[in-house]
Amino acid sequence: MTTQANLGGTFTLPNTSTTVNRMGYGAMQLAGPQVWGPPRDVDGALAVLREAIEAGVNHIDTSDFYGPHVTNQLIKQALHPYADGLVIVTKVGARRGEDKSWIHALSRQELIDAVHDNLRNLGLDALDVVNLRVGGITGPEEGSIEAPFTVLAELKQQGLIRHLGLSNVNSKQLAEAQAISEIVCVQNFYNVAHRSDDNLIDGLAGQGIAYVPFFPLGGFTPLQSSALDTAATSLDSTPMQVALAWLLQRSPNILLIPGTSSVGHLRENLKAAILQLPPEIIADLDRIGETPKQ
Ligand SMILES: NC(=O)c1ccc[n+]([C@@H]2O[C@H](COP(=O)([O-])OP(=O)(O)OC[C@H]3O[C@@H](n4cnc5c(N)ncnc54)[C@H](OP(=O)(O)O)[C@@H]3O)[C@@H](O)[C@H]2O)c1
């Protein structure tokens, strides 16, 4: 069936039979302000999730530390029992402080507890994909990830996790993890204006591994750029649609998880899957992101 979401094409995770539409959905914005507590409009949040699935989204990104627990509980309330083919990707490795801060939670017991919390709150017997989140929100941090990643590899062996990914990592940490267990996706901060992962994306594409940019629209402060505005006007679209279409055209291994708490924005974002950017507009947009490369 052709749906809005699969018009962006599909991607099969390496060495798996798991295929997702490249246009997915990121659920973080469904929790309350500062990703804390329940949303102001619970029915609205449930409606966003149901609309995403109806439009053909079959890849939802989440975590039990959104809320905490709130986002996963909303996903379960809106969508359980889950449609065949829906891939829910979650992440572990952080917890929330009482002051709403984001704190590393990478000890063996914290990781085991986080996987079980995700299973319970999502209502699943096994998690499709779990990303080990190790760095900070603005970028990777140096250091070995062998110990925490080994814990997740064990949980995968036990059948609690089907596939493993990484978040907020550099290429050295990726290689370290790949020596322990297969990696199917990497989720880092990247968008048209923040391109320090350009080389990493190309390397992952060569290995058939998905790259899933978080903050594809700029995150808590959505992107603002005259180049996006100009492109949007000339293509009868919106700046956010142009930013998403740019990512889809940047590399075939890029999967999108734009976040929104609004059905209107969700519909707008999904339409980016059919927006084709001509080369001269891509050249203009590329100038936004002229930052040093890793
Ligand atoms: N691994 C990590 O460390 C990490 C970190 C951050 C996020 N993530 C994941 O990445 C996903 C995406 O990131 P994100 O949601 O933080 O950032 P994002 O997708 O870049 O942007 C979300 C922001 O853009 C707004 N927005 C969405 N669509 C819009 C539109 N069409 N027009 C105008 N504004 C629009 C949203 O507000 P409205 O709600 O009003 O639409 C929200 O403020 C998250 O859901 C989460 O799953 C992962």
Convert the pLDDT of each residue in 118-172 to its tens digit. Answer: 999 999 999 999 999 998 888 899 999 999 999 999 999 999 999 999 999 999 9
66 is catalytic: yes
Per-residue pLDDT of 162-204, as tens digits, reads: 999 999 999 999 999 999 999 999 999 999 999 999 999 999 9
pLDDT above 70 (res 245) = yes
Pick from 35, 39, 12, 87: which is nearest to 257 by CA? Answer: 87
CA of 25 to the centre of ligand 1 (A): 9
Q: How far apart are CA 189 and CA 194, in angstroms?
A: 8
Tens digit of each residue's pLDDT (9 = 90 or more) over 220-237 = 999 999 999 999 999 999
Dist. CA 257–CA 273, nearest whole Å: 12
Q: Indicate the domain borders of the chain.
A: 5-220+252-258
Q: Which secondary structure element, helix H or strand E, spans residue 32, and what is its range?
A: none
Phi first, then psi: give them for residue 173, nearest 5 degrees.
Answer: -70, -35
Of ligand 1's listed atoms, the one at least distance from the Cα of 258 is 19
pLDDT at 216 (0 to 100): 98
String of DSSP letters for 92-121: ESEEE-TTS-EEE--SHHHHHHHHHHHHHH
Q: What's the pTM value of the predicted model, to 2 decimals?
A: 0.97
Name the pLDDT band for 250 (thresholds 50, 70, 90): very high
CA of 158 to the centre of ligand 1 (A): 33
Which atom, in ligand 1's list, is nearest to the CA of 25? Answer: 45
> Quick one: pLDDT band at residue 290, thresholds 50, 70, 90?
low
Distance, CA 279 to ligand 1 centroid (Å)?
Answer: 26
Selected from 3.30.565.60, 1.10.10.10, 3.75.10.10, 3.20.20.100, the CATH number assigned to the domain covering 5-220+252-258 reads 3.20.20.100
Cβ of 141 less than 6 Å from ligand 1: no
Q: In ligand 1, which atom is closest to the CA atom of 215? A: 20
Asked if 128 and 163 count as a contact pair (C-beta separation under 8 A), the reply is yes
Closest residue by Cα to atom 37, ligand 1, is 260
